[in-house]
Amino acid sequence: MFYRRHQLMLRIGLFYSAAFLAGAFGGLLATGLAQIETSKYRGWPSIFFIEGAIAVLAKFLTEEERDLAVKRMNIHAGGASAKPNVDIEKFNWDSVKVAILNFETAVLSLLYFAIITPIYSFSLLLPTILRTLAYSKVITQLLTVPPNMGGFLAVLMMLGGVAVAIVGYIMLIASARGLVQYGGTFLVAAGIFPCSPLILGWLSNDLAPH
């Protein structure tokens, strides 16, 4: 990351929330782009062509921004390395061994795995979950937008938590009513989405650069 320790949590939260905002707008874009038909392609290929072109044309950092990022990383590394400058620090396998065998690293890795699994299963399977409510494909895509927007806002405000997600999953599993299940997707998103940036911020602040 390109930020100092005290800046990391907010920046990671903003960066991570963009994924859920993309999920929200992705549903809207997919709904519209899937309606495009040509003589060679019908519907969904247009999603890959147009959204892929946007990703290819996007720019990353200017030269000035890269210089600022390097300065921030050097400041961020202050006191975390025995070397006066991280540029002269050499790679060695002993440090890798220490990191792999470190108890805190193992626990944080397990925590992150436990969090990232429901996040991606929710993001990828949300349209499938909503299809069980017997809506059309277009309506299903549109219904993915509000839960993702709810998750986006939850990340920005760092609200929710695993307990909220558990309530959402109970609503999805235990109820046969469509509106109750749909309401459960909001709680799942609000519960699991804020957890990942918290773990990433914690991990980034606890590890020395190498």
Residues 152-196: tens digit of each pLDDT: 888 777 666 778 888 988 998 888 888 888 888 888 888 888 888
Reading the block at residue 88, the tokens are 């002269």
Per-residue confidence band for 132, with pLDDT thresholds at 50, 70 and 90 = confident
pLDDT at 158: 66
Query: What type of residue is 118?
Result: P
Reading the block at residue 155, the tokens are 């990340």
Q: How do the domains of the chain map onto residue ranges?
A: 5-206
The rounded distance, in Å, linking the Cα atoms of 148 and 10 is 19
The strand pairing partners of 37, in sequence order, are: 42
Residue showing tokens 């000035």: 64
Over the stretch 46-83, which tens digit does the pLDDT of each residue have? 777 777 777 777 677 788 888 887 777 776 665 555 55
